[in-house]
Structure 1
């Protein structure tokens, strides 16, 4: 059975780059050209080591580095503040991405980028499709946005902590199962994506509400639903719908790749 490794490329690469950039902050773009080149050489070496370790430890049969598209704007169109708190990619790193992709390709790991899609949606689509065909999938990322995909066939691995993220860990951290996370974050907020949630509803209120029904509609119709909580939800109903939409990952993106094109050349690694 195939084991597909889907790597959230910039989630991995930006953290590796940050280690090399740190000594030159706050103005890394103003360092000498030779220093810039050394930062990238070091980042490339760290990326190679990280990818080799992933292959050796997780033993996938297939792997893919997935990069964010440059023109994925549908979430910002729905909600302009989406990810507005994110720092832009450093220019040194942005210019070096083709080199880093080649570094991965030398290890037999292909890369993909589709201008109109975020990496998250491409990864979710590839993971869902592979799992439907009975293949094992491991998503490599520290982004909690992938947690709703957790299932018997889809695993999530934090390469920096060197551990799998599991359903009990989700329950312990958020107080809800993975399949309810999007609804939970829509209520309490998600700082990662600059989603504020509903004012006045914290984790306790969200937990109380979600315990009353499988959907918000069910919860609001429950006789034990507190009146004030119900009023807040109804006042922000349309906003919650938008939050749930932008926090949900697409699973229908067509990547234009087949499994054979993602097969690992273990000799190269």
Structure 2
């Protein structure tokens, strides 16, 4: 295979478009869904052109990934998908497929891990891919072969934008989230360690476990680190994306018609 692989985080794209359309809806739910499907398909067509993709896939989430089994509170406070949208997902899949993009809905795996696995396979073969999502979890994957594109801001994300947004280098994002936590996904982090403290610790230590003995940190912070190390390890597993998912298909099958 050669070319450019377009990797669409399907529900991320759909839910953002649906949120706007449902708020502006003045007709029936069916009319709104049809309009929304058309907008999603149009977005997919635009993304093919923007990325100059030769291969493409839109990945949906499976029911319960390994993270739900590993940590029972994972995404526990997240609002459920609206029933109107949930009952219409097949229509969205058909709309995407009509653009020539392959649709993949795993049984259990999360879209993030599937996308990360595909991007990693491409990069290891020195082939290019573009991930389309507003999910910050893809940012650690960014490298010379993997781009991340925000469709709604119309921009590619880069190392400079990561430092501006999070105050840490890209290579330290997973450590940062594992310490400070991620409320959107109910990932705990270390209790009592906020964004500023996490940034300070990361700026001083390549290995977070060494920070427990750092006397330039307050006694209270060192105590929080010591007592919260188990949560840090749990959180680090949760925020990192897997790149070893068994896909069951080849990259050649994703060629655009």
Taking structure 1 as the reference length, the TM-score comes to: 0.89
The residue that corresponds to 2:17 in the other structure is: 16
Q: Does 1:213 align with 2:205?
A: yes
Q: Does 1:69 align with 2:62?
A: yes
Could you tell me how far apart the structure 2 residues matched to 1:131 and 1:210 are? 27
Alignment length, in residue pairs?
256
Could you tell me how far apart the structure 1 residues matched to 2:220 and 2:20 are? 48
Offset at residue 101 of structure 1 (A): 1.2
CA contact (8 A) 1:213 1:222 kept: no
Could you tell me how far apart the structure 2 residues matched to 1:219 and 1:199 are? 15
Partner SS, residue 211 of structure 1: helix
Could you tell me how far apart the structure 2 residues matched to 1:59 and 1:256 are? 26
Which of 185, 188, 206 matches 2:177?
185
CA contact (8 A) 1:186 1:244 kept: yes
Question: Could you give the per-residue CA deviations for residues 195-228 of structure 1, whole angstroms, max 9, x where no partner exists?
Answer: 2422322222112211222121243355645443
Partner SS, residue 108 of structure 1: coil
Partner SS, residue 111 of structure 1: strand
CA contact (8 A) 2:74 2:186 kept: yes
After TM superposition, the runs of 4+ consecutive aligned structure 1 residues lying more than 4 A away are: 221-226
Q: Does 1:237 align with 2:229?
A: yes
The residue that corresponds to 1:30 in the other structure is: none
The residue that corresponds to 1:39 in the other structure is: 32
1:170-181 matched pairs, under 5 angstroms: 170-181=162-173
CA contact (8 A) 2:67 2:74 kept: yes
In the superposition, relative to structure 1, how do residues 80 and 24 fare at CA in structure 2: closer, same or farther (>3 Å)? Answer: farther
Which of 35, 41, 44 matches 1:48?
41
Q: Does 1:149 align with 2:150?
A: no
Q: Root-mean-square deviation (CA), in Å?
A: 1.8
Could you tell me how far apart the structure 2 residues matched to 1:149 and 1:213 are? 22
1:46-125 matched pairs, under 5 angstroms: 46-72=39-65, 74-125=66-117
CA contact (8 A) 1:212 1:222 kept: no
In the superposition, relative to structure 1, how do residues 39 and 24 fare at CA in structure 2: closer, same or farther (>3 Å)? Answer: closer
Question: Could you give the per-residue CA deviations for residues 215-266 of structure 1, whole angstroms, max 9, x where no partner exists?
Answer: 212433556454432221110111111111111111100111212111112x
Partner SS, residue 87 of structure 2: helix
Could you tell me how far apart the structure 1 residues matched to 2:121 and 2:105 are? 18
CA contact (8 A) 2:212 2:223 kept: no
Question: Could you give the per-residue CA deviations for residues 121-178 of structure 1, whole angstroms, max 9, x where no partner exists?
Answer: 1111111111111111110000111111111111100000000111100011111112
